[in-house]
Structure 1
Amino acid sequence: MMARPIPAFIPALAPPLLLIGAWQAASATGLFPAQVLVPPSEVMRTLASLAVNGELSAHLGQSLFRLVFGFAIGATAGLAFGAALALSKWIEALFSPLFLAVRQVPVLAFVPVLVLLLGIEEGFKITIVAVAAFFPVALATFDGVRGVPKAWFEVARVYRTPLVPFVARILVPATVPPVLTGLRIALTRAWLVLVAAELLAADSGIGQMMEMGRQMFRIDVVLAGVIVSGLIGFALDRGAKWIERRATRWRTA
């Protein structure tokens, strides 16, 4: 009788479990003050308390609201700009140098300017998410469109294929894989930038919850926020990868 194969998720659990065990052991030794190295059991109790009293859901709801709206705006603008950059020589000549220069600037470097212009209200957080999502999506769309063979454009021109059918039947299917990869990278990047921006300038959200915990020297609250933000980022990445695999199954069929 053959032994059943070990599920793939079981080996993946070993590193985090070892880390938690080492964390618990280090906190039990007393080498560090309990206020500095909070044991994982205490962090879990704090996380449960934040979930029960509604504080966690309120902050998380605000962060996800900003992520959804900011990502939708940034991704839509990135798709349009990347496609225009790839399809038009004069748009590329006009905007490509500026685009390539600005995309090298860390997104968080825009925080002081955006705070001065927009304050720390919702507009600032949504804008910083949109900026974080814009550049990866625009670059992926540009590379995807430029990767379409030129012969396809020439055939479409010979047969005078209308723009809408050409985009829907040729351009979109050919660029789906790189664009989806760009969207996945942009989504996780937008989440990281949002949490960082909330740490720096916000009155609500997961990042602000962590910052308030730091100011009150509640390291358990800070670590609870770290765990939640990590789990959300992991879920976003896994979900985007699942959608990417489902949307590109036809390529391996």
Structure 2
Amino acid sequence: MELTSGRISWHGINLFKKINVYWLISCASPLILFFVWYVACRLQLFPDQILVPPENVWLSFINLIQSGELYLHLKDSLFRLFAGFSIGATAAIAFGIVYATNRHVKDYFSLIFNVLYQIPIFVLIPIFILIFGIGETFKILLIIKACFFPVALAMIEAVEGVPKQYMELSQVYQLKLKNRVKYIILPSVMPPLISSLRIALGRAWLILVAVELLAAGTGIGQMMELGRQMLRLDIVMVGVFITGLIGFVLDKSLRQVEQRFIQYKQQ
């Protein structure tokens, strides 16, 4: 028992060391970048209007929180993101299942699906502005387009990769489409589906911020654009850091969900 206990303890110590090393390596690069930024500002290598000192950015961040302006912009951006992502991802999952399991649907929509997939998001911006204006509909539609095709493509490939014996078994038992999706298709495609959702969500966030820079009344992107127009690069830097932090949190959260599904499937 003592030997076993010692082995467990030693294994725990090694694991703890690995976690600490990983954590130190992960923190090193942003700390080094911050240090270089701080030193460059102190040495006045660039004017303050171009390279804003870190303390000025921090003060602007606090002021934006206290005034409620950051909350307003962030609330609107996240609403657009999750509204467009929810609609686009749900539609993509349903379309991918039907497309992969129904030959007639595949024949009808194959050409138009591939043509629309090849159209860049930013090409649609002037068309959507003319039709919908610069309101919420325009931005949510762009997010739907950004999310729909990556998730739909991943879903189609995943469903087509479901072992044939599973599908044949469902036909033998005459399972309805609802039960076939619930008990066979979704459990089989969940890891690649979560991965595609993670990629689509990150892509949608980047596109949303870029669109808000061009045409929006509120949002993180618009906050940065207003800061640029007023030559307030401290506000622009706050927007840059907020954008990166939110993108990191979204990606990390879905990556954790993806890892859990992979472990569950292996078990």
TM-score per shorter chain, which class?
Answer: over 0.9
Q: Residue 74 of structure 1 contacts residue 130 of structure 1 at CA under 8 Å; is this kept in 2?
A: yes
**Structure 1 alignment gaps of length 5 or more:** none
CA distance change for structure 1 residues 106 and 40 in 2, over 3 Å: closer, same or farther? farther
Q: Distance in 2 between matches of 1:74 and 1:159?
A: 33
Q: Distance in 1 between matches of 2:120 and 2:28?
A: 34
Q: SS of 1:248's equivalent? A: helix
Q: Where does 1:208-219 land on structure 2 (aligned, <5 Å)?
A: 208-219=222-233
Q: Distance in 1 between matches of 2:247 and 2:201?
A: 9
Per the TM alignment, residue 131 of structure 1 is displaced from its structure 2 partner at its CA by 1.1
Which of 158, 178, 186 aligns to 1:144? It is 158
Per the TM alignment, residue 102 of structure 1 is displaced from its structure 2 partner at its CA by 2.3
| Aligned match of 1:95 | 109
| Aligned match of 1:204 | 218
Which of 85, 106, 112 aligns to 1:71? It is 85
| Aligned match of 1:242 | 256
Whichever residue aligns with residue 173 of structure 1, its letter is P
| Aligned match of 2:148 | 134
Asked if 1:44 is matched to 2:75, the reply is no
Which of 133, 155, 172 aligns to 2:186? It is 172
Q: SS of 1:148's equivalent? A: coil
- Greater C-alpha Rg: 2
TM-score scaled by structure 1?
0.94
| Aligned match of 1:227 | 241
Which of 121, 124, 128 aligns to 1:114? It is 128
Q: Distance in 2 between matches of 1:94 and 1:106?
A: 23
Q: Residue 143 of structure 1 contacts residue 178 of structure 1 at CA under 8 Å; is this kept in 2?
A: no
Whichever residue aligns with residue 45 of structure 1, its letter is L
Q: Which moved more, 1:93-102 or 1:43-52?
A: 93-102
Structure 1 segments, 4+ long, off by >3 Å, are 1-4
Q: Distance in 1 between matches of 2:149 and 2:120?
A: 11
| Aligned match of 2:6 | none
Which of 86, 98, 101 aligns to 1:84? It is 98
Q: SS of 1:134's equivalent? A: helix
Q: Deviations over 1:4-62 (max 9, x none)?
A: 61523222010001001111112222232110111122111111111111111110011
Whichever residue aligns with residue 182 of structure 2, its letter is A
Q: Distance in 1 between matches of 2:178 and 2:148?
A: 24
Per the TM alignment, residue 233 of structure 1 is displaced from its structure 2 partner at its CA by 0.4
Whichever residue aligns with residue 71 of structure 1, its letter is F
Q: Deviations over 1:180-211 (max 9, x none)?
A: 11111111111111111100100000000000
Q: Which is helix-richer, 1 or 2?
A: 2
Q: Distance in 2 between matches of 1:37 and 1:176?
A: 45
CA distance change for structure 1 residues 24 and 220 in 2, over 3 Å: closer, same or farther? same
Q: Which moved more, 1:4-13 or 1:148-157?
A: 4-13
Count the aligned residue pairs: 253
Which of 25, 35, 46 aligns to 2:49? It is 35
Asked if 1:251 is matched to 2:260, the reply is no
Q: Distance in 2 between matches of 1:174 and 1:206?
A: 38
Q: Where does 1:48-67 land on structure 2 (aligned, <5 Å)?
A: 48-67=62-81
Q: Which moved more, 1:155-164 or 1:183-192?
A: 155-164
